[in-house]
Amino acid sequence: MSTVTATAAPTKLWGGGKSPFDVEYGKLMMWYFLMSDAFTFGAFLISYGTIRFSSNGWPNPNEVFKSFPFAPEGVHAPLVFVSIMTFILIISSVTMVLAVLAGKQMDKKAVVRNLILTIIGGIAFLSCQAWEWNHLHSEGAWWGANPFLNADGTQSSTNFTNYFFTITGFHGFHVFSGVVINIIMLIMTLMDKFEKRGHYLMIEKAGLYWHFVDLVWVFVFTCFYLI
Amino acid sequence: MSHSAQALHHDDGSAVKEIWKVTAILSVLTIIELILGFWMMGIESESFRLAIKGSIVILMIAKAFYIVGYFMHLKHELKNLIMTIVVPLALFIWFITAFLYEGNSYKNLRNRYDPYKKAQTEIKVHKNEEVKEGKPSAE
Amino acid sequence: MSSEVALDFHSGVSSLHDTHHSHDEHHHHETFISKYVFSMDHKMIAKQFLITGMFWAVLGGFMSVLFRLQLGYPDSTFPWLEDILGKWAKGGHITPEAYYALVTTHGTVLVFFVLTAGLSGTFANFLIPLQVGARDMASPFMNMLSFWFFFTAGIVMLSSIFVETGPFSGGWTAYPPLSALGDASPGSKTGMDLWIVSMALFVVSSLLGGLNYIATVLNMRTKGMSMTRLPLTIWALFFTAVLGVLSFPVLFSGFILLIFDRNFGTSFYLSDIFVNGAGALPNEGGSAILYQHLFWFLGHPEVYIILLPAMGMVSEILSTNARKPIFGYMAMIGSMFAIAILAFLVWAHHMFVTGLNPFLGSIFVLLTLLIAVPSAIKVFNWLTTLWRGNIRFTPAMLFAIGFVSLFISGGLTGIWLGNSALDIHLHDTYFVIAHFHIVMGVASMFGMFAGIYHWFPKMYGRFLNNTLGYVHFWITIAGAYLIFWPMHYEGLAGMPRRYYDYSIWESFKQFSDLNRFISTVAMIVFATQILFLANFFYSIFKGRKLRTANPWGSNTLEWTTPIKPGHGNWPGEIPEVYRWAYDYGKDGTDFISQTTPVGADESVH
């Protein structure tokens, strides 16, 4: 194996016989898959924007997402719960990046610890989402049913809830698959698969996916809860 | 193409430092977003609200930059890889512009040529009875 | 890395290429299943794609013969139709429902299964590893999955033909509300469910394939094979894969929203709808136009997904058989790049008459007409490649020249249709049918035929029968023009597409003879394709055997492999590349393979 370093002359990078990016193909594919997935989410969010732009009114998110678990009925706490969800995801992203770093240092113990933290973060996020869905459902919101009025007090179409459940659901599905991937990574780490292989590149690819999930949430969070 | 090529070019201590720095930046950006969001609730002026929404979107893109650049490590990859990933995303510019412009135009079209529909969307509903019904009416 | 790109398909995606395998004695145990069914050899997967694509081409083509019967002979009855179609052709006359189902399935099958999977699936799989100098795809396992997802998509689509209410019948674009409401038509019921499942599987298949093609072209080129030494086929297939990876997910999102509209009471695409018998629907606030935007965001890149592989193969075949370097190699790459970008910016030109904002429309006109620039560059480059060439008229070469001819005649009408003002008159007429069948349908089929005739010797170690090839070419090119040229006149006269029976319209009665003529030619052309298939399958087993490894005197790497390459393509080391792929007739030498080092006294190109 020709040990190529990133310091190789740039003219030689494209000369063939090696990756022009110094990246093995699996990671490259993961990047391009994520780009493709970005178009999936992009199309969802853009459709949401299109329908919102073509509607005369739209519900005010602060009136809709104002509840908090275990808080007394009628409490008005907009943005609080979703902020917690956002921070959970950011922190789980941090632990993931620490796991990737530990993998590069071949530090199995740190990989295991950080992966476990990431998985816990993912499960916590999913639980929060489950609570929120359940709560909205109990208020009468679901696909095809929207109990909320527009900000100006007029009747709202069902598309607010339609899009909310579809897009957060699709994102939640990604979080779920990310958790599953991370659990598999954890098991493989515990079984010393990567130690034997001599590298933790799989963790890096799983990490890319996990950060992408976090990235999508940045957009979903902004589009649905903030603006 | 061995994995050693992807090794960090800075020592591990500074890598950890960078992670926490980015975490702090992301948290601060999120908190600013939330403050803007809370602030926006009390504001009546439509154009002012729009300006705040615009700044929230800019903050969102800044957050995306930090996640992709540092957490996903793209900033430390070779420039060619960065370009092949960032350049196609430029397609989103026209994707978003055309779709939103078209959505807005569709609204205007309907409002102009379907006055009945427009009048329907201007009727205020009493909130309480609606919530009790639990299901929106067809109109 | 060249020799280290090992065939480590046992470790899956995660494997690194630095795991050492000795592929020289790579004789692992191969059963029938692992060799012909769940094969991970890119050449076998390519053949699987090709033959599955042929099955669909025959089916889709036969469907067009059936509905051309209705259009050409609206008053006649054909009792044999009832024998094959049953209640869909009571009394030997195709029912309106069956007619629409046939039109829809013909479109879906030809666009996606034949010209996307059958064309780029076959040739990307076959040519990318062989021409970039790799032992296989980056991930042979994902490659295999890609085929089997496609195969399953096909099974689901096929089963939709046999359900009680028939296959989907709302047009291949599946616009709502016909696709979103089960009550809209018989085909909108189970048929549509199966259609959408099939298409979702197809999207997965093309993503798996596309990611693989991109990673292989970028990462696995052999030593010396820089990007600007790649044959144009590879460039074309690379851009095709990029288009697919970026545009299919948008279609996928659109389909997910459609599934919710169909099954879960949402109204993403529905508003103000009144169904006969069911009354006004509660769905409010959606926009059927939104679906069209999402669909065409894929749909337009899709036509280049179909066309680019044909363009790439034609460039290669023209240059090889004209014994001249391709004219304007860099301009060819640049124009393909421009086409790939523009493909994403022009989708709404399919929607000028939907009520699209006219100002937005004018921008789409501008962007659409810009495509003429790279297209013209390509056409002139092909023509100048032929000019003063020492042309060998092999069947592949004839089909390649036919492609250029069709691309010119079909492309020119695109300039008409790209104008939003002209489109008011021409939209949804036979003019559109003529345009896209010539420029995308038949032209890409020609590219595919050219590719099959040219690379058949590499695939099976035998030649196709030349005489049958010439017969096939001349009937097909004459037939293509005879079928589609008159449709321009029908379209200019305002004859709308997708009508069941034109004889009852005073304005279109005059075309009944013309329609009958078109139908007759369509049947002859279809029969000729059967002749080609006979040639294909006969030649696999009984064709003239290849005696030399490089029958066309070609420069590219695939001809440096043995006549029947095994899994791994090259028995020894992968050859190193020293030059571009188009050194034909240089310094008085007929051809110089890419593997020949540059001589000291060679002229610089």
Number of other CB atoms surrounding residue A226 within 10 Å: 21
- pLDDT confidence band for C30 (50 / 70 / 90): confident
Task: Please report residues of C whose CB lies closer than 8 A to that of B102.
Answer: 289, 293, 348, 356-357, 360
Cβ pair B109:C355 closer than 8 A: yes
Closest listed residue to residue B110, CA positions, set A96, C357, A106, C403: C357
Domain CATH for A68: 1.20.120.80
pLDDT digits (tens, 9 = 90+) for C256-284: 999 999 999 899 999 888 888 778 888 88
Average pLDDT, chain B: 83
| Residue A169, domain member (yes or no) | yes
A-B CB pairs within 8 A amount to 189
pLDDT of A10: 47
Q: Is the pLDDT of residue C304 over 80?
A: yes
| Residue A23, domain member (yes or no) | no
Closest listed residue to residue C474, CA positions, set C513, C542, C534, C525: C525
Cβ pair C264:A21 closer than 8 A: no
C562 near C549, Cβ under 8 Å? yes
| Residue A161, domain member (yes or no) | yes
Number of other CB atoms surrounding residue A63 within 10 Å: 15
Structural domain harbouring A87: 31-226
Cβ pair B2:A1 closer than 8 A: yes
Cβ pair A36:C218 closer than 8 A: no
Chains touching B by CB (3 or more pairs below 8 Å): A, C
Per DSSP, helices labelled H in chain B are 12-41, 46-66, 79-89, 91-113, 115-120, 127-133
Which residue of chain C comes nearest to A57, CA vs CA? C285
> Looking at the complex, does the CB of residue C260 fall below 8 Å from at least one CB of chain A?
yes
Q: How far is A90 from chain B (nearest CA, A)?
A: 8
For A85, residues 6+ apart whose C-beta sits below 8 A from its C-beta are: A125, A128, A129, A132, A217, A221
Q: How far is C172 from chain A (nearest CA, A)?
A: 21
| Residue A14, domain member (yes or no) | no
Two tokens at B68? 């992709």
Identify any residues that bridge with A145 across adjacent strands, giving them in sequence order: A142
Which residue of chain B comes nearest to C292, CA vs CA? B99
Chains touching A by CB (3 or more pairs below 8 Å): B, C
The residue behind tokens 């990318």 is: C128
Q: Is the pLDDT of residue B134 over 90?
A: no
State if pTM tops 0.95: no
Cβ pair C249:A43 closer than 8 A: yes
> Looking at the complex, does the CB of residue C461 fall below 8 Å from at least one CB of chain A?
no
Chains touching C by CB (3 or more pairs below 8 Å): A, B
| Residue A4, domain member (yes or no) | no
A19 near B1, Cβ under 8 Å? yes
> Looking at the complex, does the CB of residue B89 fall below 8 Å from at least one CB of chain A?
yes
Name the more confident of B8 and A218. Answer: A218
Which residue of chain A comes nearest to C578, CA vs CA? A15
Cβ pair C282:B138 closer than 8 A: yes
Two tokens at C103? 């039109």
Task: Please report residues of A whose CB lies closer than 8 A to that of B139.
Answer: 155
Based on the structure, what is the number of domains in chain A?
1
Two tokens at B23? 């975490």
Residue A129: phi and psi, rounded to 5, are -65, -40
Two tokens at A219? 């957009």
> Looking at the complex, does the CB of residue C285 fall below 8 Å from at least one CB of chain A?
yes
pLDDT digits (tens, 9 = 90+) for C401-427: 999 999 999 999 999 999 999 999 999
Cβ pair A28:C215 closer than 8 A: yes
Name the more confident of C330 and B122. Answer: C330
Cβ pair A50:B103 closer than 8 A: yes
Q: What is the mean pLDDT of residues C39-53?
A: 95
> Looking at the complex, does the CB of residue B41 fall below 8 Å from at least one CB of chain A?
yes
Cβ pair A211:B89 closer than 8 A: no
Task: Taking the CA atoms of C279, C281, C287 and C288 in sequence, report the sign of the dihedral they define.
Answer: negative
pLDDT of B2: 39
Q: Is C10 exposed, middle or buried (0-12, 13-18, 19+ CB in 10 A)?
A: exposed
pLDDT digits (tens, 9 = 90+) for C72-113: 999 999 999 999 998 999 889 999 999 999 999 999 999 999
Burial string for C236-268 (b: 16+ CB within 10 Å, else e) reads bbbbbbbbbbbbbbbbbbbbbbbbbbbeebbbb
pLDDT of B45: 86
| Helices A80-104 and A201-221: angle between axes, nearest 10 degrees | 160
Cβ pair B94:C289 closer than 8 A: no
pLDDT of B83: 92
> Looking at the complex, does the CB of residue A40 fall below 8 Å from at least one CB of chain B?
no
A158 near C266, Cβ under 8 Å? yes
Cβ pair A50:C290 closer than 8 A: yes
| Residue A164, domain member (yes or no) | yes
ipTM: 0.92
Task: Please report residues of A whose CB lies closer than 8 A to that of B124.
Answer: 152-154
Interface-testing mutation among A56, A73, A83, A199, with chain B (most B C-beta atoms within 10 A):
A56
C364 near C385, Cβ under 8 Å? no
Which residue of chain B comes nearest to A221, CA vs CA? B60
Q: How far is A42 from chain B (nearest CA, A)?
A: 8
Domains and CATH numbers, chain C: 38-591 (1.20.210.10)
A164 near A135, Cβ under 8 Å? no
Number of alpha carbons in the 13 Å side-chain half-sphere of residue B18: 19
DSSP C144-182: HHHHHHHHHHHHHHHHHHTSTT-S--STTTT-TTTTT-T
- From residue C19, give the alpha-carbon distance in Å to each of A31, C22, C265, C274, C505: 22, 10, 52, 64, 70
Two tokens at A94? 């941090």
The most distant pair of C-alpha atoms in chain C lies apart, rounded to whole Å, by 84
Q: How far is A187 from chain B (nearest CA, A)?
A: 22
For residues A186 and A119, give the distance between their C-alpha atoms in angstroms, rounded to a whole number: 9
Sort strands C589-591 and C274-275 into parallel, antiparallel or unpaired.
Answer: unpaired
| Residue A3, domain member (yes or no) | no
Which residue of chain C comes nearest to B1, CA vs CA? C1
Closest listed residue to residue C552, CA positions, set C382, C383, C326, C394: C394
> Looking at the complex, does the CB of residue B85 fall below 8 Å from at least one CB of chain A?
yes
Two tokens at C551? 């029958």
Task: Please report residues of B whose CB lies closer than 8 A to that of A5.
Answer: 4-5
The residue behind tokens 């006269």 is: C493
> Looking at the complex, does the CB of residue B48 fall below 8 Å from at least one CB of chain C?
no
Cβ pair B1:A218 closer than 8 A: no
Q: List all residues of chain C from 329 to 348 with a beta carbon under 8 Å from chain B.
A: 341, 344-345, 348
> Looking at the complex, does the CB of residue C259 fall below 8 Å from at least one CB of chain A?
no
Q: How far is A56 from chain B (nearest CA, A)?
A: 7
Cβ pair C280:B138 closer than 8 A: yes
Q: Is the pLDDT of residue C155 over 80?
A: yes
pLDDT of B57: 94
Task: Please identify every stretch of chain A with a pLDDT value under 50, giving residue numbers as ranges.
Answer: 1-10
For residues C257 and A169, give the distance between their C-alpha atoms in angstroms, rounded to a whole number: 12
For C246, residues 6+ apart whose C-beta sits below 8 A from its C-beta are: A35, A36, A39, B88, B91, C301, C344
For residues C403 and C257, give the distance between their C-alpha atoms in angstroms, rounded to a whole number: 38
Cβ pair A158:C266 closer than 8 A: yes
**Percentage with pLDDT > 90 across chain C:** 84
Burial string for A76-103 (b: 16+ CB within 10 Å, else e) reads eebbbbbbebbbbbbbbbbbbbbbbbbb
Interface-testing mutation among C18, C346, C349, C357, with chain B (most B C-beta atoms within 10 A):
C357
Give me the residue from A31, A53, A218 closest to B85, CB to CB: A31
| Residue A195, domain member (yes or no) | yes
Q: Is the pLDDT of residue C10 over 80?
A: no
